[in-house]
A and B are shown apart, each in its own frame.
Chain A
Amino acid sequence: MKSNWDVIVVGGGPAGSMAAWNSAKDGASVLMLEKDREIGAPVRCGEGVGEVGLSNIVKIDKRWIKAKIDKMNIISPDNTSVKVNFKEKEHGYILDRRIFDNDLALLASQAGVTVKTKSYVHGLTFSNDGFVNGVKANVLGKDVKLNSKIVIGADGVESRIGRFAGLKTAFNMCDIGSCVQAVVSGIDIDPNTMQFYVGDKYSPGGYLWIFPKGKDIANIGLGILGDRCNSGRPKDFLDKFLSKHYPNSSILNYTAGGVPLAKTLDKIVTDGLVLVGDAARTVNPLSGGGVVSGMNNGRLAGIRVAEAIKENNFSKEFLKKYSDNWHKADGKNHERLYKIKNFILSLTDDDLNHIAKKVSAIPFEKRSVLKVFKIVVWRKPSLILDVIKAF
């Protein structure tokens, strides 16, 4: 393998592949390094995405899709169920991310990107004037130094690339969800409905999800907000739920993971380096969905990096346009969603039960977000102030 590259991407998830692919479009030489032995595995994800959002970024392949979602069912702590039909533009998919992530890396490689697995980056190298100019990595068991003009840190929630370059990226405990998920089979569910169980009873400061991958199989997982982890382990909450609701099911796979529930980092570029996806905290902080937003973010980064290579300018001033474009595209909206997250966190299980009862009393066809909102505020008038502050 050659040791000089225009761009080195660290991490082969959706954000990394999109960044690599777009960086390479104008002919830059791009290397993408992934520490695991396989792109797309293990899957640490509920795999739920919006159809419109995804189709705006890539042409959707049928092989990626496990289920099509057109309904949602929210279950409150006292078991009141609120069903909502999605409008056409709100439809979603449950993906097979193993195939999906693999195909995104394939698309990148078809655009000229070189992809290597079993390649762990454990440090950066710097020029005399402090620009990041390469990585120290272990590639297939061999320690190597690789040179680059720009490094793209796409190394997910556990990202260390930003820290190596002196950016502050460690999470506050109130900004990360501690999650577990099981792939559960031998259950009887509607394959087109996403289900959410809300309240501290199921998962303090988060929610429990059931995302179908067929009529008898689903991703069932939950996340607990970091600063509420003293209420119990995510794994214990999930085991309790499964043994109560699906006692005779089979568990095909069990994974842990962290989800950023934060605003995008203030600094996602520095001289010779950009961060993308979970590493830059581009997840929707209210829903925890980070696949599509990470891809969009990676795409924007790749476009700017390609320009930087063309112009031979790798300074943070030049790269910052990526950060500004991201802020306009999704980052600003995430700041608003972050405030709404904090507002929702102030609701107690009693509040949620009350709200669910009121909403379920509204005829199905007449339910709307505004009506639900009015009920929420009615339950907790003191929250009007918080909401006003949020907008």
Chain B
Amino acid sequence: MININENLCDFCGTCVSVCPVDCIELFEAKLKINNEKCIACNLCVDICPLGVLEVEDEE
């Protein structure tokens, strides 16, 4: 699971551009990640200029 810190996000779409499975959606001030499709590659976490995204450990 990827955790989104919405307060920090600038909705710039850089994470969308690297996601290999196109599971991030961005419209207006909303960023949504489709966790069913996500393959946990963490590229979005690495590329975000602001550090908005975090990997959430699954218990």
| A contacts, CB < 8 Å to B | 35-36, 44, 118, 120, 122, 138, 156-160, 163, 170-171, 173, 176, 178-180, 224, 226, 229-230, 233-235, 254-258
A105 to B12, CA, bound (A): 21
Listed residue (B16, B19, B48, B49) with the most chain A CB atoms within 10 angstroms of its CB = B49
Among B14-59, those with CB < 8 Å from A are: 14, 16-20, 22, 25-28, 43, 46-51
Q: Is the CB of B46 within 8 A of A230?
A: yes
B10 within 8 Å of A by Cβ?
yes
Q: Is the CB of A157 within 8 A of B13?
A: yes
Q: Kindly provide the distance from the CB of A207 to the nearest chain B CB, expressed in whole angstroms.
A: 15
Q: Is the CB of B17 within 8 A of A171?
A: yes
| Complex: chain B residue closest to A233, CB-CB | B51
Of the candidates A36, A138, A180, which one forms a contact with B49 in the assembled complex, judged by CB atoms under 8 Å apart?
A180
| B contacts, CB < 8 Å to A | 10, 12-14, 16-20, 22, 25-28, 43, 46-51
A159 to B16, CA, bound (A): 8
Q: Is the CB of A171 within 8 A of B27?
A: no
Of the candidates A158, A160, A163, A235, which one forms a contact with B50 in the assembled complex, judged by CB atoms under 8 Å apart?
A235
Q: Is the CB of B19 within 8 A of A226?
A: no
Of the candidates B18, B20, B25, B28, which one forms a contact with A176 in the assembled complex, judged by CB atoms under 8 Å apart?
B18
A258 to B27, CA, bound (A): 17
Q: Is the CB of B50 within 8 A of A233?
A: yes
Q: Is the CB of A173 within 8 A of B12?
A: no
Q: Kindly provide the distance from the CB of B40 to the nearest chain A CB, expressed in whole angstroms.
A: 16
Indicate whether A234 sits within 8 Å of B49 (C-beta atoms), given known contacts A163-B22, A256-B12, A258-B12. yes
Indicate whether A256 sits within 8 Å of B25 (C-beta atoms), given known contacts A158-B14, A173-B43. no
Indicate whether A233 sits within 8 Å of B20 (C-beta atoms), given known contacts A44-B12, A158-B26, A173-B43. no
